[in-house]
Amino acid sequence: MTVNSPPEFLQNNLEQNASQSASQPEISNEAGPAYNSTPCGFRMEKPKLPKFCDDVREYAIFRADFKHAIESKYLKRDAITLLRTCLKEKPLELIKGIGSDYDAAWEYLDSIYGDPRFVSDTITQDIAKFKPLEEGEDVRHLVRRSYNTLKEVGVPSDMDNSHMLSIIEQKMCPDDRKVWSRDLERERKPATLNALMTWMTSEMKSRMRATAPVRSGLTNRRKINHLHGEIEGGNKSRNKCWLCNNSSHWPDQCQKLAAMSVEERLVAAKENHVCFSCLKKAGRDHRQANCSRRKQCNKVENGSQCTFSHHPLLHKSSAVGVTLASVTSQKDFMLPVIAANICGPNGLYKRGNVLLDSGAQISLIRSKTADSLGLKGRDISVNIIKIGGEEESIHTKIYKVPVSGIGDPKKHSVRAIGIPCISEEVKSVQTGTIIEKLGLPKDQVVRRGKGHVDLLIGIDHAHMHTGQTKQADHLVARRSP
pLDDT tens by residue, 55-103: 777 888 888 888 888 888 888 888 888 888 888 888 888 877 777 788 8
Can you spell out the DSSP letters for 227-269?
A: TT--EESTTSPPPSBTTTTBSSS-GGG-HHHHTS-HHHHHHHH
Specify the 3-state DSSP secondary structure of 136.
coil
Cα–Cα distance for residue pair 392/319, rounded to 1 Å: 12
Looking at residue 75, what DSSP letter applies? -
Q: What is the dihedral sign for C-alpha 267, 268, 269, 273? A: positive
Do 211 and 220 contact (CB within 8 A), yes or no? no
Q: What is the pLDDT of residue 37?
A: 58
- The helix (H) or strand (E) run that includes residue 383 is strand 378-385
pLDDT tens by residue, 349-387: 888 888 888 778 888 898 888 888 888 888 887 776 665
Count CA atoms closer than 13 A to 5's CA, side-chain side: 8
Contacts of 185-192 with CB under 8 Å at 24 or more apart are: 191/162, 191/165, 192/160, 192/165
Which domains, ranges and CATH numbers included, belong to the chain? Answer: 56-114 (no CATH), 117-201 (no CATH), 251-314 (no CATH), 323-478 (2.40.70.10)
Q: In b/e form, how buried is each residue of 425-458, taking b as 16+ CB within 10 angstroms? A: ebeeeeeeebbeebeeeeeeeeebbeebbbbbbb
Question: If you count DSSP H runs as helices and E runs as strands, how many of each does the chain have, helices first?
Answer: 15, 16
Q: What is the pLDDT of residue 3?
A: 44
Q: What is the pLDDT of residue 38?
A: 63
Residues of the chain with pLDDT under 70: 1-41, 126, 129-142, 153, 208-237, 301-303, 317-334, 384-392, 430-446, 472-475, 477, 481
Selection from 215, 319, 187, 303 nearest residue 262 by Cα? 319
Contacts of 414 (CB under 8 A, 6+ apart): 363, 400, 401, 402, 403, 455, 457, 461, 464
- The helix (H) or strand (E) run that includes residue 94 is helix 89-94
Contacts of 254 (CB under 8 A, 6+ apart): 241, 243, 244
Selection from 476, 425, 475 nearest residue 451 by Cα? 425
* CB-CB neighbours of 119 under 10 Å: 23
Residue 27's beta-bridge partner residues? Answer: 35
